[in-house]
Amino acid sequence: MNVVVCVKQIPDPAAPPALDAGTKNLVRAGKLILDDSDAYGVEMALQLADAAGGGEVTLVSMAPNGETSGLRTALAMGAAKAILVSDDSLAGTDALGTAKVLAAAVKRAEPDLVLAATESTDGYTGTTPVQVAELLGLPSVTFAKKVEITGNSVKVERQTEAGYDEVESPLPALVTVTAGVVEPRYPSFKGIMAAKSKPVEILTVAELGLDAGEIGAAGARQEITQVADAEARAAGEIVVDEGEGHQRVIEFLEQLKVL
Amino acid sequence: MSVDKIWVLAEVVDGAPITTSLELITQARSLAGTVEAVAWGDATPSVAATLGEYGVTTVHDVGDLGGALPGVPVAAAIAAAVAAGAGPDAVLFPATYDGRDIAGRLSAKLDRPVLTNVVDLIADDGGLVTQHAIFGGTQVVSARFTGEGPGIYVVRAKSFPAEPSGGAPASAVAAPAPDTGATNAARIVARHVEERTGPKLDEAAVVVSGGRGLGERDSYALIEELATLLRGAAGASRAIVDAGWVPYSHQVGQTGKTVKPTVYLACGISGATQHLVGMKNSKNIVAINKDADAPIFSVADLGIVGDVHKVLPKLIDALKSRG
């Protein structure tokens, strides 16, 4: 069974994020790493391919400057190869434009199953996977907390407001996985060494056959009109607990008439 | 793009429209002359009265989906109306699981961009301007579409109040989904409800949430006990939901519930952006965390720098002794 995992390489979330003063886009110039949220999809793909008795896990990603650091992490976990779309004309691309790029790249891999995270950690638009599914004419099941393959169908436990639904779909299909669906493995030293020589195909927008007008800032058909500081909450009171901190909480709750 | 007609996705749970849909309808009234709704399932006739009360004149009823997930058929039904020239200038979706699916599908189907995580919608120069909280709510980004409509917006819960306008029941018109073939092949085969006791997390006046700082799964019992004593609901950060300590239905934050209680007690929660966006609009915030530099203290009205394992048992004992 061949599985494609859509992965995003993002600025390190531990570093303070910033917007470009001119374009108001998220600054993505420095080193990028594999989005933590995507480690679950990669692990799930490896487990499903393994359980199906073989098949390849292919990564599909879009990033500036031919960035592959995050892809190498996923390759070190065990993915076989990667397709990276990297092109200067992609700067400013929105969720739908990204979906068009990913869909075109996914198609080349002819997968039985496409996995993605429910949303990225840096942009969290949360619609790109279903947009990819729609563009490829695939059924999709989002917010999976459990995924199983039986024969030619995928069975998913999908989060709901009240609990979860059991959902079945024939393959090929796209599934988005929540964090915690599986425990991602740490890449082994052997894996890290092997990842260095695994194939990463780097493609341009033209090579994917996409129209330049559909991507980039122009294709996004939206603009940021303003960025402002949020109304700050008045600074609160800080109490260092030396055994009586709970008393202050009780007084506070009494003040609010919660007690 | 002038905005004369807005459609709102009216998601129905347990026979009633969800509160977020009513919030969006309320706001839509102030933005456009005509507010209509899109609904599916067998309950549409009975919710038409409620929707009308909030200002909806017409409900476009996609009907029973035969067990299909709503994403594909509902988006196809809306797209068909747009193609027929009967569509709206903007469609507002609640940021729910199904709302996001339908909005994403519709965006790709119509080839229109989508703005998500909207926390405010403002009429401006004939169009709509959205606001989005970023970087843990420290900054607000305003945005708008520059191309052809309809604009597709996914709005977070509790962005607006829900206020009835006293309108007459909405009239229902059938808006069946066109055949979408294999794309619409996913089927719900069973539904499972995770039982909760006490007030609902997104409606409770007091929410007590726990995070990684609890150290281990068993310590979550402290959160539940404190929530019960305060007649509140127990919540959780994504970290401990991901770790499998508590069910997903407890999660507060970006991917979980948005809460706005009178008091929010964050216990052993560092305050990642993911969490802050779901609770920072609480009226009062109390944070207990042993790391004095934790970002949660930047939104706390009262911050206790201390170990939850020491503070919470004393707090629980003190509350018990009050009877």
Per-residue pLDDT of chain A (259 residues; tens, 9 = 90+): 999 999 999 998 877 788 888 888 888 877 899 999 999 999 999 999 999 998 999 999 999 999 999 999 999 999 999 999 999 999 999 999 999 999 999 999 999 999 999 999 888 899 999 999 999 999 999 999 999 999 999 999 999 888 899 999 999 999 999 987 899 999 999 999 999 999 999 999 999 999 989 999 989 999 999 999 988 788 899 999 999 999 999 999 999 999 8
**How many interchain CB pairs under 8 A, A with B?**
262
Burial class (CB in 10 A: 0-12, 13-18, 19+), B14: exposed
Start-to-end CA distance of chain B, whole Å, equals: 60
Which of A162, A221, A253 minimises the CB distance to B147?
A221
Q: Which helix (H) or strand (E) holds A248?
A: helix A245-255
Q: Contact B113/A258, CB-based, under 8 Å?
A: no
Which of B97, B138, B312 minimises the CB distance to A143?
B97
Cα–Cα distance for residue pair B16/B67, rounded to 1 Å: 19
Neighbours of B35 (CB within 10 A): 28
Q: What is the pLDDT of residue A107?
A: 96
Q: What is the pLDDT of residue B19?
A: 95
Cα–Cα distance for residue pair B161/B23, rounded to 1 Å: 5
Q: Strands A57-62 and A3-6, how do they pair?
A: parallel
pLDDT at residue B133 greater than cutoff 90: no
In contact, B274 and B264? CB cutoff 8 Å: no
Q: What is the pLDDT of residue A61?
A: 98
Taking a contact as any Cβ pair under 8 Å apart, which residues of chain B between 284 and 303 contact chain A?
A: 284-286, 288, 292, 297-303
Burial class (CB in 10 A: 0-12, 13-18, 19+), B120: middle
Q: Contact B107/A127, CB-based, under 8 Å?
A: yes
- What ipTM goes with this model? 0.94
- On whether any CB of chain A is under 8 Å from the CB of B123, the answer is no
Which of A137, A239, A252 minimises the CB distance to B183?
A137
DSSP B169: P
Q: What are phi and psi of A218, to 5 degrees?
A: -65, -40
Strands (DSSP E) contained in chain B are 5-9, 12-13, 16-17, 34-39, 58-61, 90-94, 114-124, 127-134, 139-145, 151-155, 171-174, 187-193, 206-210, 233-236, 263-267, 284-289, 302-305
Could you report the per-residue pLDDT of B77-122, keeping only the tens digit for each? 999 999 999 899 999 999 999 999 999 999 999 999 999 999 999 9
Q: What band does B198 get if pLDDT is binned at 50, 70 and 90?
A: confident
Average pLDDT of every residue of chain B: 94
Cα–Cα distance for residue pair B253/B273, rounded to 1 Å: 8
Q: Contact B301/A248, CB-based, under 8 Å?
A: no
**Start-end ranges of CATH 3.40.50.620 in chain B?**
5-184
Taking a contact as any Cβ pair under 8 Å apart, which residues of chain A between 79 and 98 contact chain B?
A: 94-96
Taken in order of first residue, the domains within chain A and their CATH numbers are 3-220 (3.40.50.620)
Cα–Cα distance for residue pair B46/A135, rounded to 1 Å: 35
Could you report the per-residue pLDDT of B168-181, keeping only the tens digit for each? 999 999 999 999 99
Residues in chain A with CB shorter than 8 Å from the CB of B254 are 119, 124
Among the listed residues A100, A122, A54, A55, the one whose alpha carbon sits nearest the alpha carbon of residue A214: A100
Higher-scoring residue by pLDDT: B18, B196: B18
Give the rounded percent of residues in chain B with a pLDDT score beyond 70: 99
Could you report the per-residue pLDDT of B282-320, keeping only the tens digit for each? 999 999 999 999 999 999 999 999 999 999 999 999 999
A200-203, strands of its sheet edge to edge? A200-203, A81-85, A57-62, A3-6, A113-117, A173-177, A140-150, A153-159, A163-170, B187-193
- CATH code, residues B206-322: 3.40.50.1220
Q: Contact B104/A223, CB-based, under 8 Å?
A: no
Could you report the per-residue pLDDT of B220-268, keeping only the tens digit for each? 999 999 999 999 999 999 999 988 899 888 999 988 899 999 999 999 9
Cα–Cα distance for residue pair B150/A228, rounded to 1 Å: 27
Q: What is the pLDDT of residue B54?
A: 98
The helix, strand and coil proportions of chain A, stated in percent and rounded to the nearest 5, come to: 30, 30, 40
**Start-end ranges of CATH 3.40.50.1220 in chain B?**
206-322
- Listing DSSP states for B132-155 in one string gives EEETTTTEEEEEEE-SSS-EEEEE
Sequence-distant (≥ 6) Cβ neighbours of residue B176 within 8 angstroms: B62, B63, B77
Sequence-distant (≥ 6) Cβ neighbours of residue B89 within 8 angstroms: B1, B2, B3, B4, B5, B6, B32, B149, B150, B151
Q: What band does B1 get if pLDDT is binned at 50, 70 and 90?
A: low
Taking a contact as any Cβ pair under 8 Å apart, which residues of chain B between 265 and 284 contact chain A?
A: 265, 274, 280, 284
Which of B142, B254, B318 minimises the CB distance to A224?
B142
Domain B5-184 has CATH 3.40.50.620: yes
Q: Which residue of B has its CA nearest to A93?
A: B113
Question: B52 in helix, strand or coil?
Answer: helix
Taking a contact as any Cβ pair under 8 Å apart, which residues of chain A between 130 and 169 contact chain B?
A: 130-135, 137-143, 145, 158-169
Q: Contact A249/B302, CB-based, under 8 Å?
A: yes
Q: What is the pLDDT of residue B165?
A: 96
Cα–Cα distance for residue pair B106/B109, rounded to 1 Å: 5
